[in-house]
Every structure is written in C-alpha cells, then in structure tokens.
Chains A and B, each alone.
Chain A
Amino acid sequence: MKKLTMVQAISDALRTALATDPTVVVLGEDVGKNGGVFRATEGLWQEFGDERVIDTPLAEAGIIGTSIGMAVNGLKPVPEIQFMGFIYPAFEQIVTHAARLRTRTQGAFPATLTIRAPYGGGIRAPELHCDSTESLFVHIPGLKVVTPSTPYDAKGLLLAAIKDPDPVIFLEPMKLYRSVKQEVPDGWYEVPIGKARKVRDGEDVTLIAWGTMVPVAEAAANEWAAKGVSCDVLDLRSLYPLDEEAIIESVKKTGRVVIVHEAPKTAGLAGELTALINEHAFLYLEAPITRVTGYDAPVPMYALEDWFRPDAKRVSKAIQQVVSF
C-alpha cells in the first residue's frame, strides 16, 4: 500500500478504471497533456493515449452533452468539470438529459457517466471557483451525488461511481486534495455509494458533515471531547442516496444534532436532513437541530472566505447551544 494524498488517490482510481475497463474514457479541459489543473489526471494521457484521456474544447455543455452520447453508445465517460463553479453551462445537460435518460428510455439508454468536479473553498482561489452547490444536484431525481473526505474514500468512492449504472456527480473537496496522506490499496476496491462513514463514536451530540467540512467537524469534536462531551461524527460521503439508517441511528443515540455544510444556509442540504430527522426521530430529540453553514451570500472572493466558511469555532458554538438547551 502506498501513502497518497486525495488528489493522488483520485488519479490512482482513474488509472485503475482506465486499465481495468476499456470502455472508460476520461475527458475534459486540460485533463490530457497537462494532467489537469489539480494534477488529478497526471500521467494518464501519456499512459493511455489520446483516445482514452481526451483534452476537449473549453465547453462545459459540450463536454457533458457529448459524454451523454458516448454513454448511450456504450462507453463509460468520466468527464471533468474544472471547478464546480463552472458547471452551470452544463446544468441543462445534467438535469434534462443525464438525470432522465434512464427513465425516458425506460432503461434502454441510460446515461452511465461520472461527472467529476472540484468544489468548496479554502484554497484562496479566484472568484467563482469555490461554489458548493451540491443541493442543486441532490434535488434532481435520477442523479447520485457523492463526496469523499479522505484519500481512501476518494479512490473507493470514485471507482464505485464509475461502476455505478446511474449518473453520479463526484464532488472533490479542493481544500482536502493535499491536506493529508493516507494508505490507499492498489487496484480496484469500492466504497459503497449510500453508506456514511463513522468518523468517531460519541454519545452526546451527532455532528453531520461531508467533504471539506469533515475535518472542521472533527476539530470541534476534539475540542469538546476534552470538556467531557463526546460527539458522534458522521461523514455522509453520499448526499444522494442518503444513509438514512446511520443518521437516524446516531440521532436516536445522542438526541442532539449539529449539521455542518459549506453551502449557503437557505435550501441547503441541512434543511433536508433536518426534515428527515424530524420525520424519523422527532421524539428522540433533546434540542432543536442546529445548522452551521455558509451564509446566504454569494461565495465571496478570498479576502472574506474565512468568514464565509464554517470553522471549528462556529461548530463549537453550535455544540454549546445544543448541549445547553
């Protein structure tokens, strides 16, 4: 086993998929010779050639639209959208076609593709590079949406997404691309879609987070552990389908919930999770479910991004609220 960063693990997953399945193609802007702006496709073009790892014109709708056609004709495309903030030109293709083709053709021509997009802030990127609009995609029936927070999960989840028969939006937390190294197995393994990861076990508060916010939640949990309050930390990994069982089980145990996401608060996924918990575990709650999220403002340029993105301090304050309610 090698110790890899998340971006290396993603690269390793793509290499494994390309080597294992001849129908897999990787395409997008700068993914070929340049190896991707984050180096997620480093060396793949050299190894697999121009017909498997394809530099495309700069055209998001074109990249996703042609990927859908490739999928219809038997390939498994893995298109890269360079940043999630640039996915909107392709939004129509994703919503009106990728998500619906299986239903509309009653299973004859599903769009089996995996759309990779780096998301979230914290890396001092220029404007519009740091969006976290996962709820737009979670809202669309027919799509699956996943995001890892560790190198091990990144590889296993990406391979599961590529193998999955449905279209999957695979969100890559840019902030975590190089933040830690972890042992990652060689070859093909899968982290199942629809299963949350228990980051740490606790009795008093359930912290729910995903992607970039997992280490933030962990830091707050560490802080409270020292004060004798233990947090059950869940990394959802899969935003649709949700691991309802893991969420409900944890809430029933702790009775207190803090949900953390980087996306703006209104109509963010925390609202959906709150409703889900109300439907299934209302009588177990000891305090109102509390949300720690980005603000209802456009994702700012980086001078103010530390104020926008939830940090351990804000999560900590929310924990304080729910334990002292």
Chain B
Amino acid sequence: MKLEQLERETAWVRHLSPEGELTEQGRKFWDSLSVERKKDFYRWMSYIRMFDRRSVILQRQGRIGTYAPLEGQEAAQVGSALALGKEDWIFPSYREHGVAMIAGMPLPQIFLYWMGRVEGCKPPEGVRLLPPSVPIATQIPHAVGAAWASKLKKERSVAVAYFGDGATSEGDFHEACNFAGVFKVPAILFCQNNGYAISVPFSRQSASETVAQKAAAYNFPGIRVDGNDVLAVYDVMTQAVERARAGQGPTLIEAVTYRKGNHTTADDATRYRPEQEVTEWVERRDPLERYVKLMKAEGLLTDEEMAEWEEECKERVDRGIREAEASVPAPPPHLFAHVYAEPGANELRQIKELEEMGGSGK
C-alpha cells in the first residue's frame, strides 16, 4: 500500500485522531459511552497486545508453532468484537485471536491451537466461535449461511465473517456477498484491510480504491472506517449489528489498519514494506497509544493503573501458557476423534492398528 493511498483519510469514519484527540462526531460518541465500556477498550487492547507479543516469543522459544501476529490490529478486533452479543456467530480467519479472546475462548485453548492441538479449536459450550479458517475467504459463505439460518429460524443472532484484504480477491468472497445481498441476511462482512496479503499490497490485490466500495455491486452498505480507532470501529460495528438485527440485511465493513509485524513468524516483512511506511504506522498510528492518550486526558487512566493492569495481563498470559503446556498429550488414536459421528469398521480397524503400534497413549 502506498503511503498516499493510506493518507486518503476522507470518506472514512474516524472518531479519534492518532494524536489522541476526538473529532466533533467522536466527542458525541464518546459522551454516549459508559465508563466501563471505555475502560473495556483499553483493557482488551492492551491484554491482546501482551498476549500477542508473548506468543511471538513463545514461538521463538519453540513452545508454540508458527504463529500469526496481530499487533497493530487490536482496535479493529476489539472494537468489532465488543459490539457483538453472546448469541452472535463468529467465523474468523487465522489472525483473530483478539476476537476469539473476547468471544470467550479460554487462553489455554488458543495456545493449544498454536501448539498444533485440534482440541484448541473447540469453544466452550455457548460460545459461537468457529475455528480459524486457513484457506482464504472460504469462511465468508459460512457466515452468510449461518446468518441465513438465523433469518429462516426467525432468531435475532447475526453472523460475522472476519477476513483480510487478500480475501476480497477470492471467488468465495464475491459469492458470499452476492448471497448475502440477494437473501438480505443478517451478516456482517468485516475486512481488516492491513494493506498486505503476505507481501502483495492492496494496490496489486484490487483495482478498486477501497474494499468498502465493492459492497455497492451487491447492493448493501459498505463502510470504511479507521481501523486503528477503536471508537469508530465499535460505532460502525454496533450500527451494522443493529441493522442486521432489524432485518435490514448485511453490511461490509472495511477497517483500514496495519499489521505492525510479519505475516507469520515464518515471514520477513522487511523484504516488501518500505521503511517510511512502517515507521508511520508503528510510531504514529498505533491504535493502543492513541487510545491511552485519550483515556489519560479524560482522567480515566493513570500510570499506576496501567502498571497494575499490565501485571495482571502478564499473569493471565503466563497462566494460559502454563495450563496449555500442562495439558495431557492426546494419544495417537485421537487422530480419529470426531472424523465421523460414529467410527465405522474401517476407522475402528485403523484405530486398533495404531494401538497395536503402541499408540494407545497409555
């Protein structure tokens, strides 16, 4: 993404500037929020950042496998996920650990997933969160289908698909948008446009200037928002959820953001991103720093509170990884767990074969 493209800040929703100042509209929105909610934004963003930084280190230590960092995208994830209710469905891609945490996925399980354990995919009872989708864009039709089912069953739940800018080049994105528009389902298509699909910039990904404008082709609203502004993201997401619940159909949200680090721990982003651009996003546009400035200016956060909270987050993350590491390894026959509702003769024979090879785990 070229810097001038990123600078195109018109035609997007922004409540909070990188300097931590509220816009006129932002001030109105800020005044409508409860103190607790304001604190939630800070707590979640900083907690998620701590989790993310620790995960990168854990990967370097060989304690988890290849990991997809999210630093820089905390506002997009926190702002969108906090606008959802327990009854809503979430179909994430592989970078939404922040969303997963807010949805109610226990930290040890998120770690288990990155340790290559399929058990890390299963949410607790009542958490409507699907496992990370690794193939690009394929989860978007699922969200549309789940939303469609809500509509057919006359329930109030909405379904959200999370995806990146690269996903908007895939056929599944367009098919999902088309179905969502035709059947007017309560789905929210939430794109975190972080500028790059691994190394390929958005300018090479799409001839459209924005992701949001693609919604016009499917006849539903496409909204572009400053994805590093948690207030604006929360505001547009809340409105999209309300629209969906009111039977007014889908919304495409483009949260313009930036991943501060590499695509995954196996990637080196210095190969394809200009230094000037990285500096701009890392130093000036950080979503957490700008929000901390606001919180402090509004008298809602002190250095002491920050230090306390950081300490607590550190403990939570430590506990999470400790619990994940203490988890009993799955025995080899677990390969067959839930492949079918009931294993058939063929699977039973292969399970027995594994056990005879000493794979019972006992």
Cα distance, A75 to B148, chains bound together (Å):
10
Cα distance, A62 to B185, chains bound together (Å):
14
Cα distance, A72 to B89, chains bound together (Å):
10
Would you list which residues of chain B between 135 and 153 have a CB under 8 Å from chain A?
135, 138-150, 152-153
Would you list which residues of chain A between 60 and 96 have a CB under 8 Å from chain B?
61-62, 64-75, 77, 89, 92-93, 96
Q: Is A142 engaged at the interface, CB distance under 8 Å to the other chain? A: yes
Q: Is the CB of B344 within 8 A of A241?
A: yes
Chain B positions within 8 Å of A51 at CB level: 152
Cα distance, A62 to B183, chains bound together (Å):
12
Q: Is the CB of B122 within 8 A of A65?
A: no
Q: When each residue 154-176 of chain B gets 1 if its CB lies under 8 Å from chain A and 0 otherwise, what string results?
A: 00010100000000000110011
Known: A62-B176, A242-B346. A57 touches B182 (CB 8 A): yes
Q: Is the CB of B141 within 8 A of A69?
A: yes
Output the least CB separation between B158 and chain A (Å). 11
Chain B positions within 8 Å of A77 at CB level: 145
**Best-surrounded residue of A73, A107, A242 (most CB of chain B within 10 A):** A73
Chain B positions within 8 Å of A56 at CB level: 179
Would you list which residues of chain B between 270 and 324 have a CB under 8 Å from chain A?
none
Q: Tell me the count of chain A residues lying within 8 A, CB to CB, of chain B.
A: 45
Cα distance, A242 to B347, chains bound together (Å):
11
Q: Is the CB of A106 within 8 A of B121?
A: yes
Q: Is A194 engaged at the interface, CB distance under 8 Å to the other chain? A: yes
Q: Is the CB of B148 within 8 A of A70?
A: yes
Q: Is the CB of B118 within 8 A of A104?
A: yes
Number of A-B contacts (CB under 8 A): 138
Closest to A71 in B: B145
Output the least CB separation between A137 and chain B (Å). 14
Output the least CB separation between B347 and chain A (Å). 8
Using C-beta atoms within 8 Å of the partner chain, give the interface range for chain B: 35 or more
Closest to B147 in A: A69
Q: Is B337 engaged at the interface, CB distance under 8 Å to the other chain? A: yes
Q: Is the CB of A72 within 8 A of B146?
A: yes
Cα distance, A78 to B152, chains bound together (Å):
15
Chain A positions within 8 Å of B11 at CB level: none
Q: Is the CB of B131 within 8 A of A104?
A: yes
Chain B positions within 8 Å of A144 at CB level: 340
Would you list which residues of chain B between 81 and 140 have a CB under 8 Å from chain A?
89, 91, 118-119, 121-123, 130-131, 133-135, 138-140
Cα distance, A208 to B172, chains bound together (Å):
39
Q: Is B207 engaged at the interface, CB distance under 8 Å to the other chain? A: no
Partner of A57, one of B135, B146, B178, B338: B178
**Best-surrounded residue of B119, B140, B153 (most CB of chain A within 10 A):** B153
Output the least CB separation between A57 and chain B (Å). 5
Output the least CB separation between A113 and chain B (Å). 10
Q: When each residue 333-358 of chain B gets 1 if its CB lies under 8 Å from chain A and 0 otherwise, what string results?
A: 00001111100111000000000000
Q: Is the CB of A105 within 8 A of B339?
A: no
Known: A59-B178, A166-B340. 9 other contacts (CB 8 A): A57-B179, A62-B141, A65-B145, A97-B142, A105-B121, A106-B118, A109-B130, A110-B341, A142-B340
The 6 closest A-B pairs by CB, nearest first: A69-B145, A65-B141, A62-B175, A66-B145, A73-B149, A69-B142
Listed by A's residue number, 25 A-B pairs whose Cβ atoms lie within 8 Å are A25-B152, A51-B152, A61-B171, A62-B172, A62-B176, A64-B141, A65-B142, A65-B176, A66-B144, A66-B148, A68-B145, A69-B91, A69-B159, A70-B149, A73-B159, A74-B149, A102-B341, A104-B118, A104-B121, A104-B131, A105-B121, A106-B337, A141-B339, A142-B340, A241-B344
